[in-house]
Amino acid sequence: MPCRIIAVANQKGGTGKTSTTLSLGVALARRQKRVLLVDADPQGDLTKSLGWADPDSLDVTLANHIQAAIDGNDPDPWAGILRHAEGVDLMPANIDLAGMEMAMFMAMSRERLLGTWASSLKEGYDYLFVDCPASLGIIPVNAFAAADGVLIPVSAEFLPASAMTDLLKSVERVRRQINPSLEVEGILVTLFDGRNNLAREVERTVRGQFGGTYRVFDTVVPRAVSAAESPASGTSIFSYDADGKAAEAFARLAEEVLRHG
């Protein structure tokens, strides 16, 4: 199958974006898919969650490849890719990426820098997931320009209408002006507690307001203590609590993604 690039994005923090990237990637790797996870957040949370606790000590990160794309060369696009024991590969990030934003704004074809690097790797993977920072800046736009789809995690802890509208407008702008094949991969309700009235209201709002136009995943990711604890162990929810409800949810989500192609 051709490699599918999926940007995982929400400009609001605390939506489960990084845990979704990690857990979905591992779930697909457990189904014999070749998966590269790309940490595109200068905070390096995905990198830390996979066990590299000090991203600033890494010699090669995404920032190096962005700089190479700006300079018009990348002699080894595979440099710096880390292999995790659970079957996924990782392109890490650290604070150096924050320093790249001004250079990216000044570069030729500034929206395509990440895609220039990622396109060199597509033959090696079935899925490439980009964990975007919580913003609508130049790095998420680069991810959207490179991606086939955008997966949007929405926390069931606040009504998402206004933030969702802004994000979807950005996706549509990129689709219209830069990447005509871009689509919304799906909207995923996360951090769901069925005992909570607000959580149920958020799910109803998402399905009612957006479900007619965009795909809303049937899977709902529950709030779980194990999901909050697993990043400290450097492993996915499947290693930390394989029989838990969060692991079951991400396994179902992987099946939905596979059915979509």
pLDDT category, 164, cuts 50, 70, 90? confident
Using a cut of 0.85, tell me whether the model's pTM lies above it: yes
| pLDDT tens per residue across span 173-196 | 999 999 999 999 999 999 998 888
Residue 1 has pLDDT above 80, yes or no: no
Q: How many domains does the chain have?
A: 1
| pLDDT tens per residue across span 60-89 | 999 999 999 999 988 899 999 999 999 999
State the average pLDDT for the chain: 94
Span 41-56, average pLDDT: 96
Q: What is the CATH number of the domain that holds 104?
A: 3.40.50.300
Helices 138-146 and 161-177 meet at what angle, rounded to 10? Answer: 60
Helix (H) or strand (E) holding 17: helix 17-29
pLDDT at 240: 94
Span 239-253, average pLDDT: 95
Residue 201 has pLDDT above 80, yes or no: yes
Residue 224 has pLDDT above 90, yes or no: no
Cβ-based burial of 259 (10 A; exposed 0-12, middle 13-18, buried ≥19): exposed
Q: How far apart are CA 141 and CA 26, in angstroms?
A: 25
Domain limits at 48?
4-260
pLDDT at 122: 95
Q: How far apart are CA 168 and CA 63, in angstroms?
A: 26
